[in-house]
Amino acid sequence: MSRLELYSPEGLRVDGRRWNELRRFDCRINTHPQSADGSSYVEQGNTKVICMVSGPKEPSNKSQQNSSGAVIEFNVSIASFSTTNRKKRSKNEKRTIELNTTLERTFEQSIIRKLYPRTTISVNLHVLAQDGGLLAALTNASTLALIDAGISMYDYISGISAGLHDISPLLDLNTLEESGMSFLTIGVVGNSEKLSLLLLEDKIPLDNLEDLLAIAIAGSHRIRDLMDQEVRRHANLRASKLVK
């Protein structure tokens, strides 16, 4: 098997990007105004995610309600056609449950839960296509949909992945790159350098961690700005329709 060149000596990646370039990031909010309280659609390269938020609503299960704040519920469903190999994925796969819990715990801190006692906020995520950076795309889609739903949050949470090829850090990996190197996914709060989410599953040297985090944080700030643009564009659109 010939090894695919993931990062050429000239500094180009498989899809022609430089090391610190993001893939095309496209997002829309309020995509499903009828069926959800808040919705969004995120494309990060070829990874495509739809997110629908409903709530704060009455909990379906009485025992779930919490008098000190809202209960956040995530439900990620990965379509069987989302990868090249069509594969039926069960909802109770360990990986999916881990994704759900990770997202729940991330957003529990950034949503001002105490404003919505005895309610549930449920976030349903549908993965239409996967091409790397899944958790990051899920995080971004959730942030946008929660904003669209008008749920109070302290700040944006923007996610991005970054990998390490030999000693050069690369931003925003696609599937090919993910399978060929160690990478991490982070979720950053607003424009700060605080990480609410951090996931690394493969080996990287301790001494390279700092570089990797630095470009990942820069990338996530860029994502935050792009999301902010879309939210403002949409807000202006709505505001222009208001009768003055």
Partner 1 sequence: MGREIELSSNESNFIIEGFKSGVRLDGRKLDEIRQPVIRVLPDEYGYVEIEWGNSKLTVRVSAEVVKPFEDRPFEGIFTINTEISPMASPQFEQGRVSDDEILISRLIEKAIRRSNALDLEALCMVAGAKVWYIRADVNVLEFDGGIIDAASFGVMVALQHFRKPDVSIHGSDVIVHSLQEREPVPLSVLHVPICVTFSFFNPSDSEENIKGELNEEISIIDATEKEESLRDGSLVITINKNREIVQLSKNGGLPIDVFVLMDLSKKAYTIAESLSEKIKIFLQKEESERYKKLHLDLLEAGAAR
Among 16, 24, 210, 244, binds partner 1 (CB under 8 A): 210
If one asks whether residue 87 binds partner 1 (CB under 8 A), the answer comes out as no
Return contacts of 199-203, CB within 8 angstroms, 24+ apart. 199/102, 199/135
Which tokens hold the place of 174? 């696609």
The alpha-helical segments, DSSP class H, found in 149-188 are: 175-180
> Which of these segments, 41-49, 115-123, 167-175, 211-219, binds partner 1 (CB under 8 A)?
211-219
If one asks whether residue 100 binds partner 1 (CB under 8 A), the answer comes out as yes
Q: How many residues line the site for partner 1 (CB under 8 A)? A: 43
* Angle CA 74–72–190, to nearest 5: 90
Query: Cβ closer to partner 1: 45 or 132?
Result: 132
Among 11, 33, 150, 205, binds partner 1 (CB under 8 A): 205
**One-letter amino acid of 138:** L
Among 79, 209, 218, 226, binds partner 1 (CB under 8 A): 209
If one asks whether residue 141 binds partner 1 (CB under 8 A), the answer comes out as no
Pair 42, 24: CB distance under 8 Å: no
If one asks whether residue 15 binds partner 1 (CB under 8 A), the answer comes out as no
Q: How far is the C-alpha of 43 from the C-alpha of 74, rounded, in Å?
A: 20
Q: For strand 25-29 and strand 38-44, is the pairing parallel, antiparallel, or unpaired?
A: antiparallel
Q: Which residues bind partner 1 (CB under 8 A)?
A: 94-95, 97-98, 100-110, 112, 154-155, 184, 187, 189-190, 192-207, 209-210, 213-214, 217
